[in-house]
């Protein structure tokens, strides 16, 4: 029986996987060429980490080898990551070629001699080469390789009157995996590899995700509730590494086994563990990248609830975060592109990380014998008074609590900082023994909602920054729609504002009932005192 695996390329004989035949066929066609006699293409294979780039190209290589018309090889340049000289990098490249093809290639020391490795001295048939972890190399060496590969490609095109196996250079097709720099994103002088075609590896579709879990059901005879599969896809957005990690946890570590089905309760247990206690190299790498300057400030800014951030590959900071699986992009009107977090699970992990990193200690949130009856009883919570208590705590302890808070270029504290502090305050004030508090991110961009479960009742707090009256009116409608989505009769709409006077509070802090949904929306303002 197969297993789910999230540790490197999957083994098709041992692991559940999505065949991705259309994608494999497309890559095969690129490398072999529209007319193999004319030659194949040189392609860059790119996508964020853990999306299955290497596995896809392994399947392509197997298909090409089965055809039998080409010499095929797949090598990795990961071991050249620490090399700081061209001689050292070329030595690793030649060594890897020699090992794969079981041939003693000459030890070239000059980049212009790279083409010698793909001559009749070493090969009788055209060569298709796949180079993995190509962007592990330093920028200088990436460009050196790209320049030589370009010359090889142009040289082969100049010999169009010869069949592929009769050209002076036998490098028929080339795939460079993970080549962010070769695409010209970070190369200030422009990419020398302008002959390549680009092959993007997307996340799994819902159908592909569903297919893997259906496969498990058939082999194990254990039912998986449809809601579970849908939730895994929604939380991971089909990111192969994360989707398979959740599959592994649900079917092995946290599986109660047949005849018990894998239910939403199982998913809740797994999700809580994945967010709070389980290490995962993919997620830890994402957090590490997001917490490194100058990317940290970009990520914090993405948690804002106002304007969306426009996405562009030409923005080196956004491109870095995209390639490392921190963010993705979404399209509006087929012409506009905006940043969103890679998936809700990644956003939750980042939110939890920054909340604890910035507010590991909130101070004393209540006195031992303080009367709390206006805020919390055994039956219910008064969210408005809870927000007043948070506001007072924040302003009373502002000097030390926000002393090291990250700030924007205009020296104002990032909006997300207040969201993190409210979340940590609620956890401390309510006590996790009697209440559950967790963040939700329904849109994937800056929108944040805090959910509280207390005394068999669910409270939803939608967090916003107040901008103007128009934004206020729009927020009321959005909050009502969110309440209907959750099946709740009322929602608290919490606005953070630098200052609000009593008259404005009286005007805007009025509960209203949405005519379309019937949901009561309770607006309330938190004066942060900036």
pLDDT in tens, 167-225: 999 999 999 998 664 554 444 444 445 555 778 899 999 999 999 999 999 999 999 99
Of the ranges 151-165, 350-364, 434-448, which one carries the lowest mean pLDDT score?
434-448
pLDDT of 193: 52
**What is the mean predicted confidence (pLDDT) over 35-56?**
86
Q: Domain coordinates of the chain in residue numbers? A: 21-200, 206-278, 354-527
Terminus-to-terminus CA distance in the chain, angstroms?
60
CATH number listed for the domain at residues 21-200: 3.40.50.300
> 433 pLDDT band (50/70/90 cuts)?
confident
Its pTM stands at: 0.88
Per-residue model confidence as pLDDT tens digits over 317-330: 998 899 889 999 99
Per-residue model confidence as pLDDT tens digits over 367-405: 889 999 999 999 999 999 999 999 999 999 999 999 999
pLDDT reading at 280 higher than 50: yes
CA distance 258 to 1: 14
pLDDT of 191: 47
pLDDT reading at 107 higher than 60: yes
CA distance 288 to 495: 31
pLDDT reading at 344 higher than 90: yes
**What is the mean predicted confidence (pLDDT) over 464-475?**
90
Per-residue model confidence as pLDDT tens digits over 225-258: 999 999 999 999 999 999 999 999 999 999 987 6
> 281 pLDDT band (50/70/90 cuts)?
confident
pLDDT of 189: 45
**What is the mean predicted confidence (pLDDT) over 40-54?**
86
What whole-number percentage of the chain has pLDDT above 70?
96
DSSP for 44-111 reads: EEE-STTSSHHHHHHHHHHHHHHH-SSEEEEEE-GGGTT--SHHHHHHHHHHHHHHHHT-------SG
Per-residue model confidence as pLDDT tens digits over 6-34: 887 889 999 999 999 999 999 999 999 98
pLDDT of 187: 44
pLDDT of 373: 94
DSSP for 456-511 reads: TEEEEEEEEE---HHHHHHHHHHHHHHHHHHT-SEEEEEEEES---HHHHHHH---
């Amino acid at each position: 029986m197969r297993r789910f695996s999230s540790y490197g390329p999957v083994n098709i004989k041992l692991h559940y996987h999505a065949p991705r035949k259309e994608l494999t066929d497309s890559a095969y066609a690129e490398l072999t060429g529209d007319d193999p006699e004319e030659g194949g293409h040189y392609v860059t294979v790119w996508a964020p980490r853990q999306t299955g780039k290497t596995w896809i190209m392994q399947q392509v290589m197997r298909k090409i080898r089965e055809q039998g018309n080409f010499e095929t090889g797949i090598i990795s340049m990961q071991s050249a990551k620490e090399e700081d000289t061209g001689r050292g990098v070329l030595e690793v490249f030649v060594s890897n070629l020699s090992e794969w093809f079981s041939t003693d290639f000459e030890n070239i020391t000059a980049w212009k001699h790279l083409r010698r490795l793909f001559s009749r001295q070493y090969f009788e048939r055209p060569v298709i080469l796949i180079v993995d972890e190509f962007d592990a190399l330093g920028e200088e060496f990436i460009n050196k390789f790209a320049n030589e590969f370009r010359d090889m490609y142009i040289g082969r095109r100049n010999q169009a009157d010869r069949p592929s196996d009769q050209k002076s250079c036998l490098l028929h097709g080339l795939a460079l995996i993970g080549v962010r720099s070769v695409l010209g994103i970070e190369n200030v002088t422009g990419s020398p590899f302008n002959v390549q075609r680009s092959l993007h590896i997307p996340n799994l579709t819902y159908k592909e995700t569903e297919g893997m879990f259906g496969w498990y059901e058939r082999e194990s005879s254990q039912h998986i509730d449809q809601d579970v599969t849908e939730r895994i896809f929604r939380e991971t957005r089909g990111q192969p590494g994360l989707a398979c990690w959740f599959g592994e946890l649900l079917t092995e570590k946290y599986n109660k086994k047949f005849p018990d089905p894998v239910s939403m309760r199982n998913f809740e247990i797994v999700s809580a563990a994945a967010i709070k206690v389980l290490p995962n190299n993919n997620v830890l790498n994402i957090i590490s990248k997001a917490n490194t300057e100058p990317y940290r400030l970009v990520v914090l800014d993405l948690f804002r609830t106002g304007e969306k951030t426009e996405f562009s590959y030409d923005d080196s900071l956004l491109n870095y975060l995209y390639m490392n699986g921190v963010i993705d992009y979404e399209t509006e009107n087929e012409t506009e592109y905006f940043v969103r977090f890679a998936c809700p699970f990644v956003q939750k992990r980042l939110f939890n990380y920054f909340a604890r990193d910035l507010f590991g200690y909130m101070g004393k949130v209540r006195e031992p014998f303080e009367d709390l009856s206006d805020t919390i009883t055994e039956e219910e919570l008064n969210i408005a008074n809870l927000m007043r208590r948070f506001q007072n705590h924040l302003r009373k302890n502002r000097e030390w609590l926000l002393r090291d808070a990250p700030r924007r270029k205009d020296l104002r504290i990032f909006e997300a900082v207040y969201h993190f502090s409210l979340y940590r305050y609620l956890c401390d004030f309510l006590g996790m023994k009697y209440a559950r508090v967790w963040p939700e991110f329904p849109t994937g961009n800056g929108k944040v909602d805090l959910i509280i479960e207390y005394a068999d009742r669910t409270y939803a707090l939608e967090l916003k920054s107040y901008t103007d009256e128009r934004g206020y009116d729009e927020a009321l409608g959005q909050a009502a729609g969110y309440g209907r989505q959750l099946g709740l009769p009322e929602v608290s709409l919490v606005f953070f504002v630098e200052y609000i006077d009593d008259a404005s509070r009286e005007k805007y802090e009025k509960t209203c009932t949405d005519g379309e949904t019937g949901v009561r929306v309770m607006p309330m303002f938190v004066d942060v005192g900036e």
